[in-house]
Homo-oligomer: A and B are copies of this chain.
Amino acid sequence: MNASRGRPTLEQVAARAGVSRATVSRVVNGSTSVAESIREAVNRAIGDLGYVPNLAARSLVTQRTDSIALVLPEAATRVFSDDQFFPSVIRGVSQELEAADKQLVLMLAGSPASHDRVERYAAARHVDGVLFASMHGSDPLPGKLARMGIPVVCSGRPLGPATVPYVDVDHIGGVTAAVHHLLALGRTRIATIAGPQDMVAGIDRLAGYRGALKDSRSRSIVAVGDFTRESGAVAMRQLLDDDPALDAVFVASDLMAHGALGTLRAAGRRVPEDVAVVGFDDIELARYTEPPLTTVRQPIVDIGREMARQVLRLAAGEEAEPAIVLPTELVIRQSA
């Protein structure tokens, strides 16, 4: 570590190694056309001086920033609840980016003001790509940025025509497995607590429920929640009023299922004896509810990883898959 003011520069390393700036640059960037002896001398000088490249200077000339923005809609119900969606996606993204030696710039876009901020920031190319997690499917921003030529990847299939690559899970498949499981258990009056119908996760899971029931004798009984516990509790109450004889319920999120479990208990129904319950998400809590929750697991960390991989590919000028759909899996515990 040198004691002079400021970080050492390429120039200083070059001087110490007795070579030119360009050569040091080659070594730093791993160019092959540098003689072994010189490479060693340069590396020694780098070590002695504790040289670390100045990213701002590099960005200025390369037009790359080596960082990727992850945009989370702060307002979205799911993002800051304790269903772990948010931390899990971050973790997945972070793992992939770290492997590629890129930085993660996190932006919470709650207000319209911060929405603009994201747009300005990305449009000014301060990041090499943008990841949108769990936005409302109809948000125009991803498409807008993509049209400006900025690499963009979304989580969750967009509503309407998909203008940008996205990564999602197989909601329909998961729900179908859940409903079939309920059917196999001999349940005949299977209700559902659906998620908000302006989010793809809400829409698809309801569609999956309807589709799976279609080829059975069971009719559909639907209440809509917003993915929160509270709404699950309320919706369950309503379902019970609508059809006191229901014997199963597929709930579109574990948090809502947790709320529903409370309502069921309060109503004196035993789970799973009187009413079988299946959730969706397989959050940490699902193992610890009373009784432990049978649910559909979705690989959230993998969503993050795939998103990162895709955006990196785009940023490198390669093609990305227009859609990646990750598998879901029914996890059977005791509630059904």
Q: Tell me whether B52 and A56 are in contact (CB under 8 A).
A: no
Q: Tell me whether B52 and A124 are in contact (CB under 8 A).
A: yes
Q: Tell me whether B108 and A98 are in contact (CB under 8 A).
A: yes
- Among the listed B56, B57, B94, B283, which residue makes an inter-chain contact with A108, where contact means beta carbons less than 8 Å apart? B94
Task: Tell me the minimal C-beta distance from A206 to chain B in angstroms.
Answer: 24
B residues less than 8 Å from A86 (CB atoms): 87
Q: Tell me whether B108 and A106 are in contact (CB under 8 A).
A: no
The number of chain A residues with a CB under 8 A from chain B is: 52
Q: Tell me whether B288 and A258 are in contact (CB under 8 A).
A: yes
Would you list 17 pairs from A and B whose C-beta atoms are within 8 A, ordered by A residue? A7-B125, A50-B123, A52-B123, A54-B125, A55-B56, A55-B126, A57-B60, A60-B60, A80-B87, A80-B91, A82-B83, A86-B87, A94-B106, A94-B107, A103-B107, A106-B106, A285-B285
Q: Tell me whether A60 and B52 are in contact (CB under 8 A).
A: no
A241 to B288, CA, bound (A): 22
Task: Tell me the minimal C-beta distance from A188 to chain B in angstroms.
Answer: 29
B residues less than 8 Å from A162 (CB atoms): none
Q: Tell me whether A56 and B59 are in contact (CB under 8 A).
A: yes
Interface of chain A residues 32 through 46 with chain B (CB within 8 A): none
Q: Tell me whether B104 and A52 are in contact (CB under 8 A).
A: no
Tally of this chain's copies: 2
Q: Tell me whether A103 and B104 are in contact (CB under 8 A).
A: no
- Among the listed B87, B124, B290, which residue makes an inter-chain contact with A87, where contact means beta carbons less than 8 Å apart? B87
Q: Tell me whether A98 and B114 are in contact (CB under 8 A).
A: yes
- Given A288-B258, A290-B290: A54 and B124 interface contact (C-beta under 8 Å): yes
A259 CB-CB contact with B under 8 Å: yes
What 0/1 readout, one digit per residue, does chain A (102-140) give for beta carbons within 8 Å of chain B?
011111100000100100110111100000000000000
Q: Tell me whether B52 and A74 are in contact (CB under 8 A).
A: no
Which residues does A use to contact B, with CB under 8 Å? Answer: 6-7, 50, 52-57, 59-60, 63, 65, 67, 74, 79-84, 86-87, 90-91, 94-95, 98, 103-108, 114, 117, 120-121, 123-126, 229, 258-259, 262, 265, 283-285, 288, 290
Q: Tell me whether A82 and B124 are in contact (CB under 8 A).
A: no
B residues less than 8 Å from A107 (CB atoms): 94, 103-104
Task: Tell me the minimal C-beta distance from A321 to chain B in angstroms.
Answer: 26
Q: Tell me whether B7 and A55 are in contact (CB under 8 A).
A: no
Q: Tell me whether B125 and A98 are in contact (CB under 8 A).
A: no
- Among the listed B105, B108, B288, which residue makes an inter-chain contact with A105, where contact means beta carbons less than 8 Å apart? B105
A15 to B54, CA, bound (A): 30
- Given A108-B98, A117-B98: A81 and B123 interface contact (C-beta under 8 Å): no
